[in-house]
Structure 1
Amino acid sequence: MRFLIECTYVYEHPEVNSGIQRVVRSIIKQLGTITPLVECIPVMMRAGKLYRVNSLAPLKVGRDATVRQYLIITLDHLRNRYFFWHSRLERLWPFSRSLLLRRLLFILAKLGSLSITLPLRLVLWLNRRAKPALDRAEPLEAVSGDQLILLDSSWHADFFPTAEKLKAKGVGIISVIYDLIPLTHPQFCDAGLVTVFDKWFDWIALTADGFMAISETISEQVAAEMTKRLGPVEAAKRWHGHFHLGSELDQVGRGRHGSAELQELFRSCDPVYLMVSTIEPRKNHAYLLDAFELLWAQGSNARLCIIGKIGWKCDDLVSRIRKHPEWNRRLFMFNRVNDSGLEFAYTKARALVFPSYVEGFGLPLVEAMQRGLPVFASDIPVFREIGGDFVSYFDLQAPASLANQIAEFSITGQFPAARPIEDWCWIGWRDASLQLVERTLEGIAPQVPAHPATELADAHRI
């Protein structure tokens, strides 16, 4: 049996490495080592075709490369970007509303692409007797019995007709669900995303044979949403499972430990409380500011460090941060921090503070705790599932709830969780990948026995 692990968005956006993109990269990296029970192949789909992915990152031209190899790789990069922008353009108005206009755009795009593909074919022909240059992706033929696992953010994709053809050919479709936030909490999302996600879920509900969520909490939500949309009889034909995410930062070591300003922040003896996430409404940064303003009014020397790229619907919040009286005194924000810088911050901070309204998993919570960093988190079901008694939970309706816990922690030095962080452990990306593969096997073929490593992958349940 073959598992075709879809990673189209990450393939097309090699520079992005947060949230889902980090999960996809981390799992793809483990595919060759996790289990002999099934062959796992990273794939992407484009222009109606399926491709085996050889490299998620753009290929680099070595110093010993010939001029022809340099041209082949450069033209291939250019071709990839060209068709990426075509796929984005055809989703915009008026092309999204008219099949005729999309076909016209496709014809024009194919004609325009000749300026890239013809020189590429010429160089490939001239290089035909030499050692071939490695392709980032090469065509792959799917066969009946293959299982296509939609691991990437497929609601952004345009390969739905291709996936339907594969299903008609006997390929199983499994969708990995990270959360249902655009459906359950649309107020926190861009209106365009809510519309796209809703249409995508209609499609995936009808197309997928099974669903793998990244937490039991989300798996239960998916099952309920399926029943709501399809009715209990049809929904019962789909199977549901879940796996948990790993905790390693996959690009540690690439670059220095953050900016000089980030390193300077941790040289002081004053405690630093860390918030890691994209800056957007559901992450609830405003709650943190309210809580720390209460602390600062009491004379606390606690500092708040926010790490994360600027997202959407956050202009007022970012303005509030940058104009705050404590800006660059006891309040700091870093919007571009690499994995090495994030690792540095995790190991130097006093605690992580995580006030999200809703999450599918909460990867920073696991990343922090795996490094021995205690966590204050909002009291929501998925955090209870992941953090258990090892996290100190606060009331989302009362910033004073968090402020009081931090103040007590500062005085006593005793972290206010029921169990000590030293007793907590979690799985890495290898075991997370193993959970995904083995629990998918259980979903599609209940008679397949579980591998002993599944028990190891569940070791976090102490």
Structure 2
Amino acid sequence: MFFDLVNCGVKVEKPKNIFIDCTATYYTGLNTGIQRVVRNIIARVDYIETNFGIKCTPVILKEGQFIPISKEDLLNKKPDPKVLKAKVLLSKILPSKVYFFAKNLYGRLFLFFAKPSIKANPIVPQKGDIILGIDVFWELGLFEAIIKYKKQFGIFFILLIYDIIPLMFPKYYRDQTPKKFKANFKKTDVFDAIVTTSHANVYQIKKLSENEFSGISKKLIDVFSLGSDIKPLTQSVNHNEHIEDIVKNSKIFLMVGTLEPRKNHNFVLDAFEKIWENDLSKKLIIVGRIGWLCENTLKRIKSSKYYNKNLFMFNFLNDEDLSYLYKNAAAVIVASTIEGFGLPLAEAMYYNVPVIASDIDVFREIGGSYPIYFNLSSIDSLVDAINNVKPLADKTQTIKLTTWDDSATQLIDKTLILYNQLRTNSEAFNEKSTDNRH
């Protein structure tokens, strides 16, 4: 449930413009994790404008200033195909440590030298306009630019926080990510309010130390839900023939998510290796780009005697092929030790596919009674869930699924609620200051 300002007839103040930052997604061209959310929201800017009557403009940073782009500029932006092919090849032939060194070096050089080809004048916001940050906020100088725009134009900055895992569990990341995340998030005077994707996130944010994050417990914060429907950005209906061969006459289990420690791939591999000792009828397909601190996991997958027999991995898969796998999966496994939301869980529910999920608070919040939950301290608990999973009766009739249209509506709806609270608080503060002077 959410409070729909559009349809309930509530009188609200609206800004002239909402500028949506999508800098990191534009520069990288990626379509995983945060980037999937950014792309789905930006794809609906026309829908937002029609429903809310507010000019909604995607923007990216260029030389410290925000410039407007079209939604097509973002949605058509892909990683360089030559670079992508090189990554696939190198990931297959190079030792893990060498591959990760080359990948990280390329990433740093790319972001340093990348220059958008788009030629546009910087935006000129009106006082009270909103810059809505829905992308990676701890890279590329976003906060520095926001500080300038707040001083120059008097804008409000509302920040989407997907999770605060880099603060809570820095061990899950390489050194620089938690440091950059923390250094920016500590600047609580830069963002005026927060939107996030679960009530579990709200609880964690509000519990942060006031000594480090001044005023964080008093920050205005609201929750919206991410969408579950996958609508491929291209119109091709052809699927990867190799994937079709794997799926054919097989009972496949699907894991979707970047290879990184908290996604818990090793735990799932332990369970399947135990199963495969006696039962080779089941296959595990891992879909996700190669992330960080996963060198040993990557090596384990590729050196497994089951690799390309019962165990498969795809690091660069498009939405058409991912959708095909969801439709043909016996179950989707989400084994994370901690999450801010859990998009694969929501996407599996959309396809009415059984879900086997780790028993963590946010999955209970998002999935309710839909998943089969397993205990993270017991491999046998996951083995039992895998062995006993059955096709579902149609649960979609009783579960309210959030589409990306719903998600975009909720995001802007909650943004406007926060905007009106900020205006009210600002006006009350100004009135009090005037009274004190008299």
TM-score interval, smaller chain: 0.7 to 0.9
How high is the sequence identity, in percent, across the aligned residues?
33
Shift of residue 447, structure 1, vs aligned partner: 10
Sort the Cα spacing of 1:379 and 1:402 in 2 relative to 1 into closer, same or farther, 3 A. same
- The residue number in structure 1 matching 2:46 is 32
CA 1:36 to 1:226, structure 2 compared with 1: closer, same or farther past 3 Å? farther
1:424 and 2:399 equivalent? yes
For the pair 1:350 / 2:330, whether they are aligned, the reply is yes
Aligned to 1:301: 281
Equivalent of residue 259 in structure 1, options 240, 259, 265: 240
Confirm or deny: 8 A CA contact 2:185 2:213 kept in the other structure. Answer: no
**Superposition deviation, residue 376 in structure 1:** 0.3
Partner Cα distance (2:213, 2:314) in 1: 44
**Once superposed, what is the RMSD of the aligned Cα atoms?**
2.7
Q: Which residue of 2 aligns with 1:4?
A: 19
Report matched runs for 1:233-272 at 5 Å: 234-235=215-216, 237-255=218-236, 257-268=238-249, 270-272=250-252
Specify the structure having the higher radius of gyration (Cα): 1
- Aligned partner of 1:109 in structure 2 is none
C-alpha deviation, 1:43, in angstroms: 1.4
TM-score, normalization by structure 1: 0.75
Normalised by the length of structure 2, the TM-score is: 0.79
Change (3 A) 1:359 1:257: farther
Deviation of 1:303 (Å): 1.3
Residues in 1 aligned to 2:148 and 2:123: alpha-carbon distance in whole angstroms: 14
Deviation at 1:423, TM superposition (A): 3.0
* Residue type at the aligned position of 2:409: L
Confirm or deny: 8 A CA contact 2:261 2:294 kept in the other structure: yes
1:393 equivalent in structure 2:
373
Does structure 2 conserve the Cα–Cα contact (< 8 Å) formed by 1:276 and 1:364?
yes
* Contact 2:26 2:77 (8 Å CA) reproduced: no
User: Compared with structure 1, are the counterparts of its residues 386 and 278 closer, same or farther at alpha carbon in structure 2 (3 Å cutoff)?
Assistant: same
Tell me which amino acid in the other structure corresponds to 1:56. Answer: L
Q: For the residues of structure 1 that align with 2:322 and 2:43, how far apart are their CA atoms?
A: 20
Q: 2:57 aligns with which of 37, 41, 45?
A: 41
Distance 1:136 1:285, change over 3 A: farther
State the 1:88 CA deviation: 2.2
**AA in 1 matched with 2:33:** G
Do the aligned partners of residues 50 and 315 (structure 1) sit closer, same or farther apart at CA in structure 2, a change above 3 Å counting?
Answer: closer
- Which of residues 145, 150, 175 is equivalent to 2:128? 145
SS at match of 2:138: helix
Structure number with higher relative contact order (C-alpha < 8 Å, ≥ 6 residues apart): 2
Aligned residue number for residue 66 of structure 1: none
Q: Indicate the larger mover: 158-167 or 180-189.
A: 158-167
Q: 1:137 to 1:385 in 2, by over 3 A?
A: farther
Gaps of 5+ in 2: 1-14, 79-107, 424-438
Of 31, 38, 43, the match for 1:17: 31
Q: How many residues align?
A: 374
C-alpha separation between the residues in 2 aligned to 1:304 and 1:12?
Answer: 32
Q: Is the 8 A contact 2:208 2:216 kept in 1?
A: no
Amino acid at match of 1:267: K
1:436 aligned residue (396, 411, 416): 411
* 1:357 Cα deviation from its structure 2 partner: 0.9
> 2:298 matched to which residue of 1?
318
| Range with greater deviation from structure 2 (394-403 or 289-298) | 289-298
SS of 1:212's equivalent in the other structure is strand
Q: Match of 1:312, SS?
A: coil
Per-residue CA deviation, residues 306-344 of structure 1 (Å, 9 max, x unaligned), is 111222111211221122122222211122211111011
Counterpart position of 1:164: 147
Report the Cα distance in structure 1 between the residues aligned to 2:172 and 2:149, rounded to whole angstroms: 34
Cα distance between partner residues in 2 of 1:137 and 1:379: 48
> 1:370 and 2:354 equivalent?
no
Q: Secondary structure at the match of 2:222?
A: strand
Q: Which residue of 1 aligns with 2:97?
A: none
What is the 5 A alignment of 1:186-197?
A: 186-197=170-181
Shift of 1:395: 0.5
For residue 200 of structure 1, what is the aligned residue in structure 2? 184
User: Cα distance, 1:446 vs. partner?
Assistant: 4.3
What's 2:4 paired with? none
Cα distance in 1, alignment partners of residues 201 and 420 from structure 2: 22
- The within-5 A match list for 1:80-159 is 88=112, 135=118, 137-159=120-142
User: 1:344-366 CA distances to partner (integer Å, 9 max, x unpaired)?
Assistant: 10011101011111111111111
For residue 139 of structure 1, give the secondary structure of its aligned residue in structure 2. Answer: coil
Structure 1 contact 354–375 (Cα < 8 Å) conserved: yes
Determine if contact 2:205/2:216 at 8 Å carries over to the other structure.
no
Corresponding position of 2:206: 223
Quote how far apart the aligned CAs of 1:255 are: 4.7
Question: d(CA) in 2 for partners of 1:447 and 1:148?
Answer: 14
